[in-house]
Chains A and B, each alone.
Chain A
Amino acid sequence: MTLVVQGLCTGYGRIPILNGVDFTVDEGEFVGILGHNGMGKTTLLKALMGYLPATGGRVHFAGDDITALEPHRRARLGLGYVPQGREIFPGLTVHDNLRMGCIERRDAGEDEIIANVLEEFPRLKPLLNRIGGALSGGEQQLLAVARCLCGGPRLVLLDEPTEGIQPSIIEEIVETLSRLRVANRRLTMILVEQNLDFIAQLSQRILVIQKGRITQEVRPDALRDANLIGEFVGIAT
């Protein structure tokens, strides 16, 4: 069991957003999180990463209780986070962005790590000396994912990777992530998405979040049915 979340509550100031989230994710699983806007998807990822304090409940990762750990400690334990809006370093080159991702690695040399990661992201290879901010949105998203992988995470939290990205790069991201899943059977991923095709192609299970709780779990093929989707997210279409 990789991640165990029990009764997790959090919010912004006095406004409660998560009201007791329960779920588990096994090692090697790719799990999607689906929900209407405002139901707490991004908040859940932020709470898992430690950016928001838990006001209730527990989070265990690989046997350790990480409920009260600071984000950088969680990162050292193997949690990787690719936030919505990508947040690469716009003033650094692609190569330096990747080097930033390697900072906490002790197990291998920087050049070796970057070379390995670049194998999965061929599009970034010719761009290594480009400034991050000069990349297109899609390339920045690839860079953000690649940088996260440089840290050698065991669990990756991916927040809306397709937002504002052209269709051809979305396909590339799907292909890259699927390849990674095959190449590394132990890599675990939680992804928050609105793009149903994307989430259906990548996830083995999909958790539906409603009003700050996980209310349902569905199989990806169920997302082909438009009526079911309306039901899942709480609005009849």
Chain B
Amino acid sequence: MSGRSLNLLGLLLVGVVGLAFMFLTPRLAELDTVLDLTVYIIMAVLALSLGLIWGYGGILCFGQSAFFGLGAYAYAIAMFNIGESTVPVLLAIILPAAFAALLGYFMFYGRISDVYLGVITLTVTLILFNSVNSTAGPNFHIGAARLGGFNGIPGIPPLNLPGDKNAVIDLEGMFYLSTASLLLTYFGLRLLLASQFGRIIVGIRENERRAELIGYDPRAYKLATFTIGGALAGFAGCLFANWGNFVSPTIFGLAQSAQIIIWVIVGGRGTLIGPIVGCIGIQWLSAALGANQPSGGSDLWSKIFANAPLILGSILIAFVLLVPKGLVPTLAEIVLSLFRRGRRSEQRGLEPQQAE
């Protein structure tokens, strides 16, 4: 089997599994489960946004939650002012994208080194957290929307079908919408990465200097990648604000930013399915561990098992040390090597490979 047909098979598999999941889950699962799954899937869109810019663009952004939060807030504020969701959704995409473009312009065209890029994105996120956090008073409002400071914005009106403000999307509808969004994002990014643009950004990740010397402007390509990542994160934020009808500044917090990075590390950089698997897996695990907490016994072991951050932390460290490439690339390697071994036993005595 050639690489190309393996690739197509993978795409087909993702499509079939995704669609089956989308249509079967609401029929087979309780509403509670469907609700939980919805937020996992929304976060997976967010994970994909970092999967693109870090895994393929090589830009380690500690501030993906900034764009996520901006998207959520933009949707909430616009919704209170407009009442119909078409424009708010667009704003929730455009605003974070514009913000990413502006930030990216200064970082990439200013030739900021990778380490400082991390510091800057993290700082911007924390600034947003602190600024929004301190807008609790009634004097902080944008049009009809009160910002609410650390209390957040409750009761955000839900999405409606475009143009008809009364055709509100219900909870099950949110599940369909989120899953469809994730699938569209996944396939959209696959297309993007298969295009000339996608191959060039991977080239820049591999060797920026060489890409420049054959005539590509790395600054422009990185800026475009970063902006697309910002738009995606903003869109995820919009879905998230809908899911709980609530948004608060913790969305900009350090914990949120760190989580996104952990999802991508665990799932695997340089793949798209990895961040999705990492994101959904970790969220599911945190929820399962969190559920242990109240019933936890008094002996040491049950205390340890009830401590979700401790266990998640250990998992992360184990991953970084033992599976540094992440789950999906490592599994793929194992499968491929089994496949190859199967073939090699058929044709012994290969020429030794050349290398110095």
Contact = CB atoms under 8 A, between A and B. Distances in A.
Nearest to B354: A38
A16 B351 CA distance: 9
Contacts of A141: none
A15 B355 contact: yes
Interface string A39-53: 111110000000000
Interface residues of A, number: 16
Interface string A2-13: 000000000110
B352 A211 contact: yes
A42 to B, nearest CB: 5
B352 A212 contact: yes
A16 B353 contact: yes
Q: Name which of B353, B354, B355 has the most chain A CB atoms within 10 A of its CB.
A: B355
A42 B337 contact: no
Interface string B343-354: 000000001111
B30 interface: no
Q: Name which of B337, B351, B354, B356 has the most chain A CB atoms within 10 A of its CB.
A: B356
Contacts of A12: 355
A106 interface: no
A11 B353 CA distance: 9
Nearest to B337: A14
A19 interface: yes
A38 B337 contact: no
B344 to A, nearest CB: 9
B44 to A, nearest CB: 32
A41 B356 contact: yes
Contact of A37 (B337, B352, B353, B356): B356
A42 B355 CA distance: 9
Contact of B356 (A19, A38, A211): A38
A57 to B, nearest CB: 15
A223 B6 CA distance: 50
A23 to B, nearest CB: 18
Interface string B315-356: 000000000000000000000010000000000000111111
A17 B337 CA distance: 18
Contacts of B354: 38-39
Contact of B352 (A19, A41, A42): A19
A17 B354 CA distance: 7
A88 B72 CA distance: 53
A111 B352 CA distance: 48
A38 B354 CA distance: 5
A146 B204 CA distance: 39
A211 B337 CA distance: 24
B337 A43 contact: no
Contacts of A14: 337
A39 B354 CA distance: 6
Contacts of A16: 352-353
Interface string A71-108: 00000000000000000000000000000000000000
B107 to A, nearest CB: 28
A11 B354 CA distance: 10
A40 B356 CA distance: 5
A10 to B, nearest CB: 11
A11 B350 CA distance: 14
A11 B355 CA distance: 9
A112 to B, nearest CB: 38
B352 A43 contact: no
A44 to B, nearest CB: 10
A43 B353 contact: no
A70 B356 CA distance: 21
B351 to A, nearest CB: 8
A177 B316 CA distance: 52
A14 B356 CA distance: 14
A14 B352 CA distance: 11
Contacts of A40: 355-356
A210 to B, nearest CB: 10
Given A40-B355, A43-B355, 6 more contacts: A17-B352, A17-B353, A37-B356, A40-B356, A41-B356, A211-B352
27 contacts: A11-B353, A11-B355, A12-B355, A14-B337, A15-B353, A15-B355, A16-B352, A16-B353, A17-B352, A17-B353, A17-B355, A19-B352, A37-B356, A38-B354, A38-B355, A38-B356, A39-B354, A39-B356, A40-B355, A40-B356, A41-B356, A42-B356, A43-B355, A43-B356, A211-B351, A211-B352, A212-B352
Q: What 3 A-B pairs have minimum CB-CB distances, sorted nearest first?
A: A38-B354, A15-B353, A42-B356
